[in-house]
Amino acid sequence: MELKTPYKVKCLTCGTENILDMELECVGSYERNMGPELEYMAAFDGVCQGCGEDILAQIEVWEYPVGTVEDYITVTKGAEKTEEPTFISHYMA
């Protein structure tokens, strides 16, 4: 699973839109009845390009069955997401 487009968040301090450099990494695999459920995580821990305030962002995605986004969660600190993340699976045709 990968992020289809770069994840964008807006700084809560100055309003600058930051495009975060995040990559999903597979952090877990669980055998289930329709094959593996894969868990991915991406994290950003840096500063706003506008004001230098700390920005934290985290995305967690579960792929199950393979090729399908089962669920995801996003967490941001110091910023808010401006759009939902979109994903692309390595297993999609």
Question: For binding to Zn ion (CB under 5 A), which residues are involved?
Answer: 11, 13-14, 16, 48, 50-51
The residue (of 3 and 18) whose beta carbon lies closer to Zn ion is 18
User: What single letter denotes the amino acid at residue 5?
Assistant: T
The residue (of 22 and 66) whose beta carbon lies closer to Zn ion is 22
Tokens of 58: 């985290």
- In the complex, minimum distance from the CB of residue 7 to Zn ion, in angstroms, rounded to a whole number: 16
The residue (of 1 and 9) whose beta carbon lies closer to Zn ion is 9
- In the complex, minimum distance from the CB of residue 78 to Zn ion, in angstroms, rounded to a whole number: 8
The residue among 28, 63, 25 whose CA lies nearest residue 42 is: 25
Locate tokens 């305030």: which residue? 53
Q: How many CB atoms lie within 10 A of CB 46?
A: 14
